[in-house]
Structure 1
């Protein structure tokens, strides 16, 4: 593929992904987040690197990391500006770092992002069951997400896989799952101090 073909292919993939994320965000009651989702992918920092490593099969960031010893400047730029990525929710770096829980609006957008990526890359082979299987593999490999956020994702994706019913994503259901899995453990635990409520 030449540079022009990679640029066009990558742009189409971004727009396809944004379309599906917006679709799921509307169902989840966060349409504005669906509209604003991932605009930083068009920034020079992210776009140039992603076009360079675009292959039409998987994320260019994944390809870049595989070729550059796990490093991608586009990824560092991206997750630092898009708070629906759990990687942005780490804190206490001077004491070993630990993942923190995401506020509801970003946790909901993260679910929509996962589903939108599945639809954009998987296209006609996408199913909620396939997305849930992807999540289980990702979790087994180890994931830098707080335990309660992992429980939130697990619950949402497993219910979607079991029911094939988009009502799981609707605000009453999604908020209830968030309350069950994340807010049920409302104390913030500090590794070197008391819990704060």
Structure 2
């Protein structure tokens, strides 16, 4: 793949992803966050590295990490500037580092990002069930997310897989699930535990 093809392919991938995240964010009541989502992907640090490793099949960041002993400057730049990534919510590094709960608006954007990525990258293969299975596999291999945030994501993705009902992404439902996950409690009779 030549440079022009990699630039065009990567740009189209970013725009397709932003489109889907924006759609999910509109349903979730955070359209401005959906619009502002991932603009840092066009910064030189992220864009140049991603174009260099773009092949249209696998995340350029995964390829870069594989070829550079796990290091991707694009990824470090990205999750440090986009607070919808749980990796940005670690603190107390001098004493072992601990994942923190994300504020509501970033936790919701994280869900929209997850679904938007699956829609953009999975295209016609997208299903809520497939996304939930991806999440379960991710958790099985270990995830550096606070237990409360794991419970929040688990509840939403499991419910979407079971019902395929996008009304779950409306603010009222999301706020109830978030509150139950962070404070401990129930949502529609289901206990949520971190």
Please give the residue correspondences for 1:21-170 in structure 2 after superposition, counting only pairs within 5 Å: 21-170=21-170
1:181 corresponding residue in structure 2: 181
1:30 to partner: Cα distance: 0.2
1:63 to partner: Cα distance: 1.2
What is the RMSD of the two structures over their aligned residues, measured on CA atoms?
0.9
TM-score computed with the length of structure 1 as normaliser: 0.92
Consecutive unaligned residues in structure 2, runs of 5 or more: 186-194
Instruction: Quote the Cα distance in structure 1 between the aligned partners of 2:62 and 2:165.
Output: 31
Instruction: Quote the Cα distance in structure 2 between the aligned partners of 1:132 and 1:58.
Output: 20
Displacement over 3 Å in runs of 4+: none
Consecutive unaligned residues in structure 1, runs of 5 or more: 186-197
Instruction: Quote the Cα distance in structure 1 between the aligned partners of 2:182 and 2:61.
Output: 29
**Deviates further, 49-58 or 35-44:** 49-58
Alignment check: 8 A CA contact 1:58 1:121 kept:
no
Alignment check: 8 A CA contact 1:86 1:145 kept:
yes
1:176 to partner: Cα distance: 0.5
Alignment check: 8 A CA contact 1:34 1:109 kept:
yes
Q: Alpha-carbon deviations, 1:138-195, whole Å to 9, x = none? A: 000100000010000000000000000001100011111000111339xxxxxxxxxx
Secondary structure in 2 matching 1:159: helix
1:57 to partner: Cα distance: 1.3
Instruction: Quote the Cα distance in structure 2 between the aligned partners of 1:61 and 1:182.
Output: 31
1:194 corresponding residue in structure 2: none
1:55 to partner: Cα distance: 1.1
2:189 corresponding residue in structure 1: none
TM-score computed with the length of structure 2 as normaliser: 0.94
1:17 matched to 2:17? The reply is: yes
Alignment check: 8 A CA contact 1:27 1:170 kept:
yes
Alignment check: 8 A CA contact 1:84 1:107 kept:
yes
